Amino acid sequence: MQKLLYITDQDEYVDHSFIAPLFEVYLKKYMIVDIVYFTDFKSDFACKDSHHFIVPSRYKNVLFHELSCNQIDLHSYDYVMVRNNITLMKHVLKYRDTYGYKALYRFSFPKRKVQIKCEEAQGKNQFIKRCIHTVKTKKETKVINTCDAFLPTSKRMYEHYLPNVTIPTILCSPAINPATLHAHQHHQDDTIHFVYVGTLDKLREFNTILDAFASLKNRAWKLYISTIEVEFAYALLENYPNIKEYVKVYNAKTKDALLELVAKSDIGIALLPDLPIYNTSTPVKVFDYYSSGVPCLMTQSEHTSTIFTDCVDAWFCDFNVKEITQKLDYLLTLDKEEIATIGAKGQKRLLEVKNYEMIAEKIANQLKAL
């Protein structure tokens, strides 16, 4: 059986809801997978189990030496994959011939570009950072093109952010986990329960969504928000005294707690501004919603329309107050059975085209063909 070493850019204590099902469950049906996490909280190397290695962050620059010193046989790997970190990718490429593995680069999200956009949303001039970003991207592309394969989240993401990558590409997108579907908990009252899961900041312009809710004459609704930016949410709601009583803010600490909240809702919200950082891949929250059979109101984009169909298994609208208000008005006219039917169709659709079991098999087959 072939063997993969996956070097993440994540800390051992953060949410691994993407890594866990794909790399720890489904891909292991096709190959042995070892995963490296980094930590700022430990001084010594540790094995969480025989396939999970916890490495102190101070050893990043000498990672392979640290692994070798702890009896990790680097000759045993057929593939070594690095997630998002070009410096680590260079380290892996340096030893590729020595150990004889294929070097893979995983591009999950344009983090540097997102940071620039967030700071611009705060009114900061990012001209210099934009110039630096352009130079860095060219250098990073050169490094990536020396790898054996490139694994972006979506085709549109790498076409927009790393268009000059020319090596074989293997898509590695988020998906629904067929093993962790949650039953939708139907409630009996007449109100429609909406739920929004995820980050809140100025760039996401959540005030646009609240403006739309505040414009509704029909108040037969509730909105649940689950976010780590709880204080930001409360501060934002202070501007909407007329609907504060209809909105509840949560900070779900675990994936199970989050899915439990979603399962009690009727409609998920995944409305985001029309920016490439948001519309070049499917938001993870969409999969959280449909895991519980909760249909989603999402931003109309070229990417989402390749997966869902408006008013069949989801609802689309443009990101502006008028369009969102009109769509919310329409959704409030639907009965619970109609909404549940849309959710069931959406879940079925994702299980057919975007589930981790299917993606793992495709990745494994494409790796073996390199």
Tokens representing residue 191 in the block: 């109100």
In angstroms, rounded to a whole number, what is the distance separating the alpha carbons of residues 259 and 287?
10
Tokens representing residue 88 in the block: 């680590």
Confidence class for position 121, pLDDT limits 50, 70, 90: confident
Percent of the chain with pLDDT over 70: 97
Which pTM does this prediction carry?
A: 0.91
Residue 187 has pLDDT above 90, yes or no: no
pLDDT value of residue 42 = 86
Tokens representing residue 41 in the block: 């909280």
Question: Between vectors from CA 231 to CA 226 and to CA 233, what angle results, nearest 5°?
Answer: 50
Residue 12 has pLDDT above 70, yes or no: no
Give the mean pLDDT of 289-298: 95
CA dihedral 145, 97, 87, 11 (to 10 degrees): 110
204-235 residue pLDDT tens: 999 999 999 999 999 999 999 999 999 999 99
**Greatest distance between any 2 Cα atoms in the chain:** 68
Residue 256 has pLDDT above 90, yes or no: no
pLDDT value of residue 342 = 96
pLDDT value of residue 14 = 55
51-96 residue pLDDT tens: 999 999 999 999 999 999 999 999 999 999 999 999 999 999 999 9
pLDDT value of residue 83 = 94
Query: How many Cβ atoms are within 10 Å of 217's Cβ, its own excluded?
Result: 7
SS (H, E, C) the chain: CCEEEEEEEEECCCCCCCHHHHHHHHHHHCCEEEEEEEECCCCCCEEEECCEEEEEHHHHHHHHHHHHHCCCCHHHCCEEEEECCHHHHHHHHHCHHHHCCEEEEEECCCHHHHHHHHHHHCCCCCHHHHHHHHHHHHHHHHHHCCCCEEEECCHHHHHHHCCCCCCCECCCCCCECCCCCCCCCCCCCCCEEEEEECCCCCCCCHHHHHHHHHHCCCCCEEEEEECCCHHHHHHHHCCCCCCHHHEEEECCCCHHHHHHHHHCCCEEEECCCCCHHHHCCCCHHHHHHHHCCCCEEEECCCCHHHCCCECCCEEEECCCHHHHHHHHHHHCCCCHHHHHHHHHHHHHHHHHHCEHHHHHHHHHHHHHCC
pLDDT value of residue 18 = 59
Residue 26 has pLDDT above 70, yes or no: yes
Identify the weakest region by mean pLDDT among 85-89, 192-196, 251-255, 288-292: 251-255
pLDDT value of residue 131 = 87
Confidence class for position 15, pLDDT limits 50, 70, 90: low
Residue 302 has pLDDT above 80, yes or no: no
In angstroms, rounded to a whole number, what is the distance separating the alpha carbons of residues 70 and 82?
20
Give the mean pLDDT of 103-124: 85
Give the mean pLDDT of 278-284: 86
